[in-house]
Structure 1
Amino acid sequence: MCYINKLALPCLTHFQMDVHGKIRDVLAETVRGDGHHGQRSLSEEDFIHALQWRGIVDDVMKDLHFTNVDVSHTKPDTVNKSATLVPLRRYLYFQVLGGKAFLEHLQEPEPLPGQVCSTFTLHLHFRNQRFCSKPVPCTCEPDLQEGFLLEVHRDGPGDASKMADDTTMLSICDPVHMLLINTDTTGDTTLISSYFLDWRRVLSAPNGKTSVSVELLGVGSECKVAVGVLNQSLERQKTAEKERLFLVYAKQWWQEFLEIRPSHQSKLVKIFAQDENGVNRPVCSYVRVSRAGRLLKSPWQATHFISLLAQERAPVVGGGVRQEQWCSMMAFLFCCWDLDWMDVCVGTKAENIPHTWVMTCGTDGSITLWESFTAHRYLHRPIDPDAPPMVPQPKPTHPYQTLGCVFNHKMFLANCQPSDAVELCVFDFTDGSRWKAMSEEAVRSVCAPGSTSSHPPTPPLCSLSVVPNEASNQLELEMRYLLAEHRKDLGLAMVWDDHLSYLLSAAHSAYELEHCTGVSCGNEEFQDAVRRAVPDGHTFKGFPVHFLHRNARRAFATCLRSPFCEEIVCCRGDHVRLVVRVRVFAYPVSACAVWIMFACKYRSVL
């Protein structure tokens, strides 16, 4: 449980100087000084006068800035750009005062100074602004004390010279989205809680400030643990009415779809999906236009970036069937290059396993299927079931078997063709006999940005948080240490070949380029350089491997499970020289492509 204090007045956030500490010291000194007189109680004016007399107010006004995120130039959830407060804009100061009742960490001891421990980090998203707290140790009462200054954005360029009035402020329904993240000692992160806070109650609070306790619920199967009480407002009633009308429409649409053909009952036509908070939402609301600026340079790189986001199964306490869980955009960033021609497909792959992938339609009618897990793309070549037996038919190269529905942020279509096999599908969405479409107006009523307050807005992509060269050097040092210790345990000598290690960087660049673009280039130069570096009569062996994390011990243990890698690591012979080369390629939202190559060269003995 976190305690949140929100002020509707322009206030300070983090400066280089400890403003909060100085204010506390001045107030404590003022109280002590007044205690000698004891004639009257101190007022708010007395405290303000004391702050002014000591120059604190002047210092604050000189350096008063708000934290913001420039999606093209800053690190995720950090401050790299400061802008002076504009007097004609409204700001919201959001302060976290601490946490309580994290009972899962009740027995954990207090970490010693310098000791590595699991940490909590609070992430915030509000109207295209993202913020992040300092990590604090995971305890029963974590010391989550942070202040964030949020700007209440103008909706149009004509509002630059006007201060937003109360009606305008009340009409801004975007909540403050809070995510609590746990980072363990290995660097792996877990989503602990996702919460949407309606900040507008501060507008009716005395002195423009209020303090509330926010009960953070679990996610997935634990989303109903310790359910809180919410107040129903008129705006929420309107949102609920929109969602109810869409549900009525969806039921009628589904019944019409079933009447077309009895076999439609078994098709994967997914209209609603549960988010991390256990709320049923139309699937179209999970897809939003996300412009990456200069962070992603092409659809190929965007797809590669998505494939680098680590996947994990939603945890379930106890047995039973695993519950399906989709995530809001802030909990799981999904980036599409241009959604006007990209659609999400729901169907099955091998062994009838439910699966989703992305489809693009070219202006020439060509259909390309993109696999988000691997960034592979497949050109769809449909089979003509009415063709004569002697006419050769194309063989599918993709892993997809059936297709139930297609959707994006504007449309939803169900496959009503006689067969839902992907290789037989005709992707002419204007043909009502093959695709049953939902009303675009109905989809827009609940899925368009700003249509309802229950669907969070799209957070911005943030630039790189990892310095590639530094991360590469650090991980390579750790891998070298693990390799040396492993050979030491086996009683084997350890001699490095730094020149050969340098040459392996060219291979990493070629591998990453191929993953990003599907084009293989640079391997010839790498192989030629290795031939020059390996003397006659010597043998070279290399083992490249790709990871989505920077945990050295976990990566090394995975590599040792490969017989070919173990053969290199445990190489015995004459003039054995070993190499481990690491290259980290950084992408937005802390995503990384990590390439590690183990190699050895030795004199061949007959």
Structure 2
Amino acid sequence: MALPPEKVTELKHIIHQQLEWVNVHSKIREVLAETLKDEIGDESPNLSEDDLMKALRRRGILDDFMKELHLLEDGFPQELASTPKPAVRSEDKEPRTLKRTNIDPSRRYLHLQVLGGKAFLEHLQESDPLPGQVCSTFTLSLHFRNQRFRSKPVPCACEPDFQDGFLLEVQKDSSGDGSRMADATTMLSICDPIQLVLIKMDTSGETTLVASHFLEWRSVLGVDRGVTSIAVELQGVGAECKIPVGVLNVKLELYPPLTQALSPEIVSTQLTLERQKTAEKERLFLVYAKQWWREYLQIRPSHNSRLVKIFAQDENGLNRPVCCYVRPFRAGRLLDTPRQAARFVNVLGYEKAPVVGGGGKQEQWCTMLAFLCRNKGDCEDHCTLLCSLLLGFGLAAYVCVGTKGRAIAHTWVMTYGADGAVTFWESLTGQRYVHKPVNPDDPPLVEQPKPLYPYKSIGCIFNHQQFLANCQPSDSVDLCVFDLNDESRWKPMSEEAIKSICSPGSTTSLPPLPPLCSSLLDGAAEKRTTGISAGNEEFQDAIKRAVPDGHTFKGFPIHFVHRNARRIFATCLR
């Protein structure tokens, strides 16, 4: 069987990397020295190749190396390794298995290796877990140009043993010349960063967002052979966004390598120009937003107390326009209907942003990857995800900012029908409410609708294209008229201004939304294991045998949205 030249070159490169990884060269030197000394003696220094091969075979070095390559029976792998993933190894570590994947030799790839971490001082006192011992773990998630990856969990430590490699396709979902290999100039124009999210999971399955970082990868374009190592300093989140939490050692490598790298000055100049352009866009939008706010207050001075939220802080403490947090999100075949999307969002855990000490609520609108990886968030996180999913289904969806109950700040989602019908969606429960406004001018005998929703006031609504502030005499939800085209009731922001700073191609906006991952559980298979009934008869028989005469067994049904036994048992004890 003849391989094409590019495959032969790739296979040679993989074997060469594998030889270096398993340290074959030093082992050959050791065998050579021993053989010269023990078997042939000093009087016969000439050692043939056959003698050396026999010695290597006797010691099992050749067999070990062939096992590492994982060759198939015909002597050639059907799928060449996407890229060798050599990890930093010491002599006492087990060899890592290479994962095979297909690569397109006409495409450009970026291989990102995480070669351990250091200076995670919060875990300085934690000792290495014993084999089989349950411990807290770190998991690193990546997102780059509609590609999403997750590392293997590693025990939490001051120097966590991250040893993972990720193959990122630089031209993913590109148009036009997408079939042509990207050159250095084309890649320099790709401003999408690599988002890194570090999650800690404790022994009970509770997750904590440790860090969220946007990695600028284009420095690799200005180095020889397209290989560079970076020490990525991770900052905390929320109130601790200025405090370092640890450092990741990262190696970036382009496949195939660039024939001619760009000069570091060109790369630096491009990044500087992008930052200046971003800063100018932010400045112009801020000037416009201030003028728009002054006009809004001129309508009615009491508008100053309404919840009109134009900017919100993300987990890194950066102020972004709220419209940037929403974007049409198509879930493919993972979610079939808008109501199923509402169910999916409400299953995600609810947790307010943690804050050290008192003093009120800590504001934190998480980026989508951080929210999905942590698997829980505040009501704003749920609303931006639900609104994005409903927009992906083709609905006219908006995030509503207002209050509920006793003037508690809250957000929910609204869909605006083609016939003007308004439906509220509660992202934390999945419930839907039809809105029918109360007309205060009706006679007292006219029966008014009784609202079932918990919302009291509404200050503004927004999505990825529109921002509308409520300028009606009353901000009560019951009295609100949702005629969004009537500027006497809803004051709009300029859609061009929103587009300039929130469009997907803008460097100011958040990166594209990460793709959803399919469930690891097969619902049909899970049902087949128990049949239609979960075994209620057997459960009753077992309970009757355990309950003494004169006593009564009482049970309380609890529904869980997870399968962590420790958390389930703790909930039952409470």
TM-score range, shorter chain: 0.7 to 0.9
1:394 and 2:446 correspond: no
**Number of the residue aligned with 1:558:** 571
**Number of the residue aligned with 2:397:** 342
Aligned equivalents of 1:82, 1:343: Cα separation in 2 = 44
Q: Deviations over 1:45-81 (max 9, x none)?
A: xxxxxx9xx89699689522379xxxxxxxxxxxxx9
Correspondence list, 1:423-572, <5 A: 423-453=478-508, 455-468=510-523, 498-500=535-537, 543-559=556-572, 561=574
Q: Deviations over 1:573-592 (max 9, x none)?
A: xxxxxxxxxxxxxxxxxxxx
Distance 1:546 1:103, change over 3 A: same
**Number of the residue aligned with 1:25:** 23
Aligned equivalents of 1:61, 1:237: Cα separation in 2 = 49
Correspondence list, 1:174-189, <5 A: 174-189=192-207
Q: What amino acid maps onto 1:500 in structure 2? A: E
SS in 2 for 1:244: helix
Q: What amino acid maps onto 2:363 in structure 1? A: E
SS in 2 for 1:233: helix
Q: Is the 8 A contact 2:195 2:214 kept in 1?
A: yes
Q: Deviations over 1:459-493 (max 9, x none)?
A: 0011002355888999x9xxxxxxxxxxxxxxxxx
Q: Is the 8 A contact 1:349 1:401 kept in 2?
A: yes
Q: Deviations over 1:160-180 (max 9, x none)?
A: 442212221011111000011
Q: Is the 8 A contact 1:66 1:84 kept in 2?
A: no
1:148 and 2:166 correspond: yes
Indicate which of 204, 215, 230 corresponds to 1:212. Answer: 230
Distance 1:187 1:540, change over 3 A: closer
SS in 2 for 1:330: helix
Indicate which of 289, 294, 315 corresponds to 1:250. Answer: 289
1:173 and 2:191 correspond: yes
SS in 1 for 2:350: coil
Deviation (angstroms), 1:434? 0.3
Aligned equivalents of 1:153, 1:11: Cα separation in 2 = 20
Indicate which of 365, 375, 378 corresponds to 2:433. Answer: 378
Q: Is the 8 A contact 2:235 2:243 kept in 1?
A: yes
Distance 1:305 1:20, change over 3 A: farther
**Number of the residue aligned with 1:226:** 244
Distance 1:135 1:92, change over 3 A: same
Unaligned 5+ residue runs, structure 1?
1-9, 38-50, 68-80, 477-496, 504-538, 562-606
SS in 1 for 2:279: helix
Unaligned 5+ residue runs, structure 2?
1-8, 37-61, 85-98, 248-267, 373-384, 541-551
Aligned equivalents of 1:29, 1:105: Cα separation in 2 = 37
Q: Is the 8 A contact 1:92 1:149 kept in 2?
A: yes
Q: Is the 8 A contact 1:298 1:337 kept in 2?
A: no
Aligned equivalents of 1:190, 1:21: Cα separation in 2 = 40
**Number of the residue aligned with 1:404:** 459
1:240 and 2:257 correspond: no
Q: Deviations over 1:422-473 (max 9, x none)?
A: 0111111110000000000100111111211552221001100235588899
Indicate which of 409, 424, 427 corresponds to 1:354. Answer: 409
Indicate which of 288, 291, 295 corresponds to 2:330. Answer: 291
1:115 and 2:133 correspond: yes
Percent same amino acid among aligned pairs? Answer: 61
Aligned equivalents of 1:62, 1:194: Cα separation in 2 = 34
TM-score under structure 2 length normalisation: 0.74
Which has the bigger relative contact order, CA under 8 A and spacing at least 6? 1
Q: Is the 8 A contact 2:192 2:511 kept in 1?
A: yes
Q: Deviations over 1:13-65 (max 9, x none)?
A: xx9x997586342344467689999xxxxxxxxxxxxx9xx896996895223
Distance 1:343 1:113, change over 3 A: same
Q: What amino acid maps onto 2:364 in structure 1? A: Q
TM-score under structure 1 length normalisation: 0.70
Correspondence list, 1:300-319, <5 A: 300-319=339-358
Q: Deviations over 1:516-544 (max 9, x none)?
A: xxxxxxxxxxxxxxxxxxxxxxx997632
**Number of the residue aligned with 2:118:** 100
Deviation (angstroms), 1:332? 1.4
CA RMSD of aligned residues (A): 3.5
Distance 1:193 1:34, change over 3 A: farther
SS in 1 for 2:449: coil
Indicate which of 40, 64, 68 corresponds to 2:81. Answer: 64
Q: Is the 8 A contact 1:111 1:117 kept in 2?
A: yes
Aligned equivalents of 1:135, 1:147: Cα separation in 2 = 14
Aligned equivalents of 1:213, 1:64: Cα separation in 2 = 27
Q: Is the 8 A contact 1:174 1:453 kept in 2?
A: no
Q: What amino acid maps onto 1:396 in structure 2? A: P
Distance 1:202 1:400, change over 3 A: same
Q: Is the 8 A contact 1:88 1:160 kept in 2?
A: no
1:198 and 2:216 correspond: yes
**Number of the residue aligned with 1:272:** 311
Aligned equivalents of 1:23, 1:557: Cα separation in 2 = 45
Indicate which of 103, 106, 113 corresponds to 1:85. Answer: 103
SS in 1 for 2:284: helix
Aligned equivalents of 1:11, 1:267: Cα separation in 2 = 63
